[in-house]
Amino acid sequence: MNYPRFHQQMRWFGPTDLVSLSDIAQAGAQGVVTALHGIPIGSIWTTEAITTRKLLINELGLDWTVVESLPVHEEIKMRTGQFELYIQNYCESLRNLAVCGLEVVTYNFMPVFDWVRTDIAHPLPNQSEALLYDHRKYELADLFLLERPEAKAEMDPAQLEKLQQQFDRMSAVEKQELFQCVFQALPGSSEALVKDQVLAAIAQYQDIDAQQLRNNLIAFLEAVVPVAEEVGIQLAIHPDDPPFSVFGLPRILSTAADVEYILAAVPYKANGLCFCTGSFGAHPENDLLRMLKEWGSRIHFFHLRNTKRDGPDRFWEASLLEGDTDMYEIVKEAVYLMQKEQRSIPMRPDHGHKMLDDLGKAVYPGYGAIGRLKSLAELRGLEYAVLASTVK
């Protein structure tokens, strides 16, 4: 008997990605998760552009069923400017993706930044490198490199003085490296954002608090989810990364309570989750196994990665089987979910360590070939063992 299993994926950033489709095929993945990064955010993805990308992937014997991501324009998040046009374009892109056989569309509703880290090459004891978030270093970047106007007013005076002294001891090279780490551009790009550009983007949200952003997300979902449901697309929202406010910007998908609110507000099956164990796991109050059991039917995509917290405001990407999340229990519950609902759920390993021959290469941070190959192999082994012990 054939049992539903993970649809094993790896992320690919397109033809300019140093990790090739051949690398991904050799890693054992069945398909790739990708996007049309060259199309401006808010523009329509045409069937021609989608088909061209899909044929390129299929030539290597891989499939493409998951989009990551179809970006949500900032004017939609703020409900300003041409947001209605951008929502119409989003719906048209969903229709075109469905015509081309795509099944899952991942997106996020994080203002300005898709993710923030303070070190993209944190050295581990075995000399591999990992992504790391350290809140003290983030504060240095916010206060003294970005110089966000509200940052000092939000800070305790005694702590501000300590941070000023720490910043004064940093070399020019250390300051430049911190800026480049924190202000990375969107995934798939290696260029850092420009200071004035970042400040202007943040300033647009000065009158938008968490509840207003949440309302804007609900309004967006009420417009696009019926279209997704009609054409057979599953929408999978990615949680906040990190799962707390940065640069004074609101966060609305960091905790179990946030998930419950969003899923209940728009109760279509097509309105679902990208269940990222790293993002949810970096928040100490989240019980990932309980969340998986409660909302399994609304999970359309898994990002399986592990983080290790070192206090309330510092975490790094751990080896898949060694972080704060019990990955065996997560995989076991995911296998049970797939058997119960008789469906295969796409999964990809995420944020692998930079290691072996990838060290020294200019791969996108967290997306080298070998670290993710290692995680994919571990996940495949976990799934095999769970299946062998429970359903065979």
The residue annotated as part of the active site, out of 238, 283, 300, 353, is 238
Q: Residue 246: is its pLDDT beyond 70?
A: yes
Q: Residue 54: is its pLDDT beyond 90?
A: yes
pLDDT tens-digit series, residues 139-185: 999 999 999 999 999 999 999 999 999 999 999 999 999 998 998 75
Q: Is 324 a catalytic residue?
A: no
Q: Residue 103: is its pLDDT beyond 70?
A: yes
Q: How confident is the model at residue 188, as a pLDDT?
A: 47
- Count, in order, helices (H) and strands (E) of the chain: 14, 12
Q: Is 353 a catalytic residue?
A: no
> Does residue 370 contact residue 359 with C-beta atoms inside 8 Å?
no
The residue annotated as part of the active site, out of 73, 122, 283, 351, is 351
> Does residue 182 contact residue 176 with C-beta atoms inside 8 Å?
no
Query: Domains of the chain, with CATH numbers?
Result: 7-116+202-390 (3.20.20.150)
pLDDT band with cut points at 50, 70 and 90 for residue 194: confident
The residue annotated as part of the active site, out of 7, 283, 300, 303, is 303
Q: Is 351 a catalytic residue?
A: yes
Q: Residue 193: is its pLDDT beyond 80?
A: no
H or E segment to which residue 266 belongs: none
The residue annotated as part of the active site, out of 276, 283, 300, 358, is 276
Query: What distance in Å separates the CA atoms of residue 2 and residue 4, rounded to the nearest whole number?
Result: 7
Composition of the chain by helix, strand, coil, percent to 5: 45, 15, 40
Q: Which sign does the torsion angle of CA 125, 130, 317, 381 carry?
A: negative
Q: How confident is the model at residue 68, as a pLDDT?
A: 96
H or E segment to which residue 288 belongs: helix 288-295
Q: Is the peptide bond before 242 cis (omega within 30 degrees of 0)?
A: yes
- Collect all residues with Cβ–Cβ distance below 8 Å to 267 and sequence separation of at least 6: none
Q: Is 276 a catalytic residue?
A: yes
Q: Is 238 a catalytic residue?
A: yes
Label residue 63 left, alpha or beta by phi (over 0 means left) and psi (-120 to 50 means alpha).
beta
> b/e per residue, 19-39, with b = 16+ CB within 10 A?
bebebbbebebbbbbbbbbee
Share of the chain above pLDDT 70, in %: 97
Q: How confident is the model at residue 185, as a pLDDT?
A: 55
Q: Is 358 a catalytic residue?
A: no
pLDDT tens-digit series, residues 311-353: 878 999 999 999 999 999 999 999 999 999 999 999 999 999 9
pLDDT tens-digit series, residues 207-240: 999 999 999 999 999 999 999 999 999 999 999 9
